[in-house]
A and B are shown apart, each in its own frame.
Chain A
Amino acid sequence: MAAALPSESERRIPCWRCRQPNPPAFFCPNCEAIQLLPSNADYLALLGFAGRPGIETDELQRRYYDLSRRLHPDRFQTGSAEEQRASVRASALLNDAFRTLKDVESRGRWWLERAGDSLGRENNQVPPRLAAEVFEVQEKLAELRAASGSEREALQSETRGILEALSSRLGDERAAVQSTLEEWPDASAEEEPLGEARSRLKQLLSEISYLRTLERDVRRALEES
């Protein structure tokens, strides 16, 4: 499964104008023509980060703005039909790529899928400690919904504390996803470190997902109380 990665990003597409086979890129490195790319082109490769999921969002943003200008359909108004078609498609693709990559969670999910896995696959076990926490917090929310007067005030402040703790944990978990992606083993690495990185990423993203749902419910309960 992991072997699909290098071959995928190394797959070459011939330039429509000069016929040179190129790895996925918005512009042909040989004749500089804008390229007609398939919609499943590798987002990281397109933005010049091939195989490096631990990108910095500042750098991503810079490349995105630069490419947005260069790919904009207005620039190809007097161009050929191929160029006009390519610029519309490339601009849409660039936007999809940026939206997916800028957030570390969606980047992580996308990367997991590129590695031939997905968050939901054979993954219905909630870590027991996390499950216990979910039930405990939800119990508290039920108490809060039923409470009144000074009891409610006490529960509200306790719940606000829970919310704060949840938000800070989500921040930590997101940072852990980023470092997992930064330390991602080379595509040429053995199966074992790749498998370990995949399962760590999957575990972190799953925990984030459960914590997010919990955070949403806590917020809602506080608003309604």
Chain B
Amino acid sequence: MASYSDKVIDHYANPRNVGSFEKGEENVGTGIVGAPECGDVMKLQLKISDEGVVQDARFKTFGCGSAIASSSYVTELVKGKTVDEVEQIKNSIIVEELSLPPVKIHCSVLAEDAIKAAVKDWREHHEKKKDGSAAA
């Protein structure tokens, strides 16, 4: 069994920002991604202001401790950042921060993918909203 770092154990035992935003809440981008090798599923939601700043984040991850810790850490990491900054986040920073062993690196990749999927989802809604208000 892989030995977990203290930070992984901390995030696993006390995950930050677990849950979902209310359905239909505006300015929320949702990213759902999975790792088919191990069956982990991760949902990350970002609440993003019209100016494109991440105000809050929630996650639900079903999988191993490293996947839960990676997503928990990411919800803290993204707050206050702009969407452009958030899209630049690489999995390597998660690996470093949590000292993930090589066999768990895919968990950090999953978290990076979840951020990208959430931002993409927000951008799609945001564009639509902008188009809608321009037409009105």
Contact A120 B106 (CB under 8 A): yes
Chain A residue nearest to B114 (CB atoms) is A124
Tell me if B63 is interfacial: C-beta within 8 Å of chain A: yes
Task: Give Cα distance in the complex from A203 to B33, angstroms.
Answer: 14
A-B contact count (CB 8 A): 53
Tell me if B102 is interfacial: C-beta within 8 Å of chain A: no
Minimum Cβ distance to chain B for residue A174 (Å):
15
Question: How many residues of chain B are within 8 Å of chain A by beta carbon?
Answer: 17
By a CB distance below 8 angstroms, the chain B residues around A131 are: 32, 34, 41, 43
User: What 1/0 flags go to A170-210 for Cβ under 8 Å of B?
Assistant: 00000000000000000000000000000000000110011
Minimum Cβ distance to chain A for residue B26 (Å):
21
Centre residue among A135, A213, A214, A217 by max chain B CB count within 10 A = A213
Contact B36 A206 (CB under 8 A): yes
By a CB distance below 8 angstroms, the chain B residues around A13 are: none
Contact A125 B106 (CB under 8 A): no
Contact A135 B38 (CB under 8 A): no
Contact A119 B41 (CB under 8 A): no
Contact A126 B37 (CB under 8 A): no
By a CB distance below 8 angstroms, the chain A residues around B43 are: 131, 135
**Interchain CB contact (< 8 A) of A124 among B33, B39, B60:** B33
Contact B36 A210 (CB under 8 A): yes
* Majority secondary structure of chain A interface residues (helix, strand, loop or mixed): helix
User: What 1/0 flags go to B32-71 for Cβ under 8 Å of A?
Assistant: 1111111111010000000000000000101100000000
Task: Give Cα distance in the complex from A119 to B36, angstroms.
Answer: 6
Tell me if A212 is interfacial: C-beta within 8 Å of chain B: yes
Question: Given known contacts A135-B60, A138-B62, is B38 in contact with A125 (CB within 8 Å)?
Answer: no
Apart from A119-B36, A135-B60, A214-B39: 11 A-B pairs, beta carbons within 8 A = A120-B35, A120-B106, A124-B33, A124-B36, A126-B32, A126-B34, A131-B34, A206-B36, A209-B39, A213-B39, A213-B63
Which chain B residues have a beta carbon within 8 Å of chain A's beta carbons? 32-41, 43, 60, 62-63, 106, 110, 113
Q: Could you write out 9 A-B pairs with CB less than 8 Å apart?
A: A123-B36, A124-B35, A131-B41, A131-B43, A135-B43, A135-B60, A138-B62, A209-B39, A214-B39
